[in-house]
A and B are shown apart, each in its own frame.
Chain A
Amino acid sequence: GENVEQHPSTLSVQEGDSAVIKCTYSDSASNYFPWYKQELGKGPQLIIDIRSNVGEKKDQRIAVTLNKTAKHFSLHITETQPEDSAVYFCAASRKGNNRLAFGKGNQVVVIP
């Protein structure tokens, strides 16, 4: 099955700086790649996603880039704010299959 790995496990950034989290996947048939944000005591919430026919997608301060050849995709957060502090999970799934395989998560800490 799909194996999804995230690096680094913990990332500390100064408020206002950028944060980048990288995710690698193993299944070349995967075509849907979402990022979820999980705050303490809450369930994961989708923040951005990308499909395999697109290389980059932006939504205000967040963006996701996909490199299908290298089988990795990254989450970029610009102008980080304290409310960006959370655990971020990447995931992947195949076409026609909503079964998401999640990575282990990255703890992002934004230092005021």
Chain B
Amino acid sequence: EAGVAQSPRYKIIEKRQSVAFWCNPISGHATLYWYQQILGQGPKLLIQFQNNGVVDDSQLPKDRFSAERLKGVDSTLKIQPAKLEDSAVYLCASSPLRGAGANVLTFGAGSRLTVL
């Protein structure tokens, strides 16, 4: 089974520029998550999708972050404009909608963002 695919793996931008990250979840996983992991900390949930609908975006800084999952499969996370404190690894994860595995998140390798 293919894992969660993310791109790009690394991105360096200047503050106030924009950046977009892409995620393709495991086939058949209805739930998709974007997490932000700042160096030395645990992942923090930014947004959770169920199919193409948003379940939880309470911790997403909506003035600069946006995310979409238009067809209920892959997803894009955008930051515009970026701030220095946005430097982090952006992790995408997916899980099945039902069953024993519904709580089990499978993570991608992440996209490391450096804002200068």
Contact = CB atoms under 8 A, between A and B. Distances in A.
Query: How many B residues are at the interface, by size bracket?
Result: 20 to 34
Interface hub of B42, B105, B110 (most chain A Cβ within 10 A): B42
B109 A32 contact: no
Interface in A31-51: 32, 34, 36, 41-46, 49
Nearest to A4: B42
Contacts of A102: 42-44
A49 to B, nearest CB: 7
Interface residues of A, number: 21
B67 interface: no
A98 B31 contact: yes
Interface string B78-116: 000000000000010101000000111111111000000
B111 to A, nearest CB: 10
A104 interface: yes
